[in-house]
Amino acid sequence: MGEFFTKGNALPPVHGDVAPGFEGVRTEFLRNFAERGEIGAAVAAYWRGEKVVDLWGGRRLWDGDAPWEEGTMVVVHSTTKGVSALALAVAHARGWIDYDAPVAHYWPEFAQHGKGAITLRQLLAHQAGLAWFDESVSVQHLRDPDALARLLARQKPAWPPGSRHGYHAVSVGLYMQEVFRRADPAHRTIGRFFRQEIAGPLGLDFFIGLPLDVPAGRLATIQPLSIGGALRALPTSPGPFIARVIWPWSLLHRTMRLLEAADPNDRDVLSLELVAGNGVGTARAIARLYSVFAEGGGELGIGPDTFAQLVAEPRLDPMNDVVMGVPSTYSLGFLRPGPQPVFGSSPRAFGTPGAGGSFGFADPDARLGYAYVMNKTGYHLFDDPREKALRDAVMCAVASSSPRRRHHETAPEPAR
CB atoms near residue 254 (< 10 Å) = 17
Q: Give the pLDDT of residue 195.
A: 98
Q: How many angstroms separate the CA atoms of 256 and 241, rounded? A: 14
Residue 334 belongs to a domain with what CATH number? 3.40.710.10
Q: Give the pLDDT of residue 181.
A: 98
Domain membership flag for residue 220: yes
Report pLDDT digits (tens) over 317-375: 667 888 888 888 999 999 999 887 899 999 999 999 999 999 999 999 999 999 999 99
- Cis status, amide bond into 341, omega within 30 of 0: yes
Q: Give the pLDDT of residue 406.
A: 37
Domain membership flag for residue 128: yes
Report pLDDT digits (tens) over 242-259: 766 766 777 777 777 665
| Backbone torsions φ then ψ of 120, nearest 5 degrees | -60, -35
Length of the chain: 416
> C-alpha distances in angstroms, 355 versus 89, 217, 373?
23, 23, 11
Helix (H) or strand (E) holding 175: helix 171-183
Domain membership flag for residue 18: no
Which contacts (CB < 8 Å, 24+ apart) does range 263-267 have? 264/75, 264/77, 264/222, 265/221, 265/222, 267/210, 267/212, 267/216
**CB burial class (10 A; 0-12, 13-18, 19+) of residue 193?**
buried
Domain membership flag for residue 23: no
Q: Give the pLDDT of residue 122.
A: 96
Domain membership flag for residue 1: no
| 3-state SS assignment for residue 370 | strand
CB atoms near residue 155 (< 10 Å) = 22
Q: pLDDT 10s per residue in the chain (416 long)?
A: 333 333 445 677 899 999 999 999 999 999 999 999 999 999 999 999 999 999 999 999 999 899 999 999 999 999 999 999 999 999 999 999 999 999 999 999 999 999 999 999 999 999 999 998 988 888 888 899 999 999 999 999 999 999 888 999 899 999 999 999 999 999 999 999 999 999 999 999 999 999 999 999 999 999 987 767 766 776 777 767 776 676 677 777 777 766 556 788 999 999 999 999 999 999 999 999 999 999 999 999 999 999 999 999 987 666 788 888 888 899 999 999 988 789 999 999 999 999 999 999 999 999 999 999 999 999 888 899 999 999 999 999 999 986 544 333 455 556 54
Number of domains in the chain: 1
For 196, the domain range is 71-378+404-416
Q: How many angstroms separate the CA atoms of 142 and 147, rounded? A: 8
Domain membership flag for residue 229: yes
Domain membership flag for residue 218: yes
Q: Give the pLDDT of residue 407.
A: 38
Pick left, alpha or beta for residue 332 (phi over 0 → left; psi -120 to 50 → alpha; otherwise beta). Answer: left
Domain membership flag for residue 63: no
Give the pTM.
Answer: 0.92
**Inter-residue contact 259 to 277 (CB < 8 Å):** yes
Q: Give the pLDDT of residue 281.
A: 98
Q: Give the pLDDT of residue 405.
A: 43
